[in-house]
Structures are given as C-alpha cells and as structure tokens.
Amino acid sequence: MNRFIFERMIPACLWLAALCLLCPPPAPAQDALLTGEVEIVNASTGNHGARSGKPDASSVVVWLIPADHTGPPTLASHVQRPVPQLVQHNKTIEPHLLVVEVGSTVQFPNRDPFFHNIFSLYEGQAFDLGLYEAGSTRSVRFDRPGVSFLFCNIHAEMSAVVVAVETPHFGVSGKSGRVEIPNVPDGHYTMHVWYERSLPEDLKNLTRGVTITQSMRSLDPIRVTDNPNYNLAHKNKYGQDYVPPPDAGYNPQ
C-alpha cells in the first residue's frame, strides 16, 4: 500500500473508533412482543373498577394456544425462565398468583420461623407437602394444565393460585390492565383468560380465536367480569373447619 495513503488512513480510523465509543449501540427491541388491555367490569353494575372504585385491572392471566397444538403438553425447552418459587413468609404465600408452563417444577421455601403445610385438593394439580419446618423447601412438578388453589393446613388465611398452561405464550396484567406477551410468532391462536374473581362461565365466554401478524401485534380489549359474590372460604385438607392444631412438640404459631 502506498505509504502516503496509509498515513492518511490512520487518523480516520482513530476518529471512527472514538465515535463508536461515544455512541453506544441501540438497545435491542423485544422480539415479537404482543400487547393487550384488560378492563374489570362489575357484574352487578356494569361499571369499571369493580370493587373499590379504583381501576385496578391486575392479576388477569392471558395465554395463547397455537391453533395446530396437538399431543401431550411439554415444557418448551427454548424458553429460559428462572425457577419459580412460592415463598411462605409472614403467614402469606408470595406471590399470590403464579403462572407456569406445564412441566415446570415450583419450589416452596418456608421462610417463617414455624411449620407450614401447603396443599392443593381443588382442580388443577392435587398435592400435599405435609408439615415442613422453617428454612426447608419442598417442590411440586405441575404436569397437567389447570388452575390449582393452594392453602396451608395450619393457617387458614394463607392462599395462592398456580395457573399451569400448555404454552410459553402467556402474560399477567398489571394494575393499569396492560398485558405483555413476548416472543409470539405470527400465526393463529386460541386466546384464554383467567381471573380469580370471575365465574368459570364468564371466563369461558372470553375464549376466542386470534390471528397474530407482523402488522397486528395487539389484542382487542379484554373485558373481564368481577363476581361481587366471590368468596375464598375453604376447609382444611381433611374437609373440616380449621381448628388450632394439637401440641406436637412444635410451634406453628
């Protein structure tokens, strides 16, 4: 190479390197993001913001099943998610709502200074973790689709819900009602909706077919009916009313 041209190129290369350092690369866009908006409607009045008058539309689960879905559900190996946990702390189960793909294993760490006994006997996945002490962890594999209502056999006030879906395409609404489902390929799907305070027949009526394309990345508004008579009263795992546990050498509080 001509020495004159080479010497001229060096300053230009240095300027280009400096510009690259000063201008960071653009943030990558979230791939194939699908969005939706949820509204909560009072069953008796038809008004929005059902119970307290506030437009809280959180905790509505929306998921998409591909139209060509066949065969037994399997965990999507290409979707990398952290190990889901339902933590017992301050006599609560955190979070109250957990959505997992069928085949996922959920951990149940006990971070209270006393025993718990988490169980589920209603719909979904039936299990009984038995008594386990502070600092220990039990696990359950959710290998069938459905809604599992979880309780503690010692503390009647503790509850949670696990929704197991046979698809990686799901999202949960925030307080504003916005739902985001990432990585949804173009195609035909069946949309399902679940909300803890809705009646099963109202939720069934929300099931519908949707078509996702590159130019159509949003769902039509989803209006979810709030059941004003909703009640989470339940029995213990023996089908009996809750009573103080007998003294067995431990302190369940």
Last residue of a domain, one of 166, 188, 217: 166
Are 51 and 84 found together in one domain?
no
Q: What is the pLDDT of residues 5-59, one digit of tens each?
A: 445 545 555 445 554 455 544 443 446 899 999 999 987 665 555 445 556 999 9
- Model's pTM, two decimal places? 0.80
Query: Could you tell me which residues come within 8 angstroms of residue 62 by beta carbon, excluding any fewer than 6 positions away?
Result: 36, 38, 170, 171, 172, 173, 179, 181, 191, 192, 193, 219, 222
Are 203 and 189 found together in one domain?
yes
In a domain, 123, yes or no: yes
Q: For the chain, which residues score pLDDT lower than 50?
A: 1, 4-6, 9, 14-15, 19-20, 24-30, 50-51, 77, 248-250
Are 184 and 61 found together in one domain?
yes
In a domain, 98, yes or no: yes
- Residue carrying structure tokens 């009573």: 243
Last residue of a domain, one of 166, 192, 221: 166
Last residue of a domain, one of 123, 142, 166: 166
In a domain, 178, yes or no: yes
| Run of H or E including 228 | none
Query: Domain span at residue 128?
Result: 70-166
Q: Hey, CA dihedral for 173, 179, 181, 184, is it positive or negative?
A: positive
Q: What is the pLDDT of residue 198?
A: 97
Q: CA torsion angle for 149, 151, 153, 158 (degrees, to 10)? A: -160
How many Cα neighbours within 13 Å face the side chain of 48? Answer: 10
Q: What is the pLDDT of residue 82?
A: 84
**Torsion angles phi and psi, residue 53, rounded to 5:** 85, -5
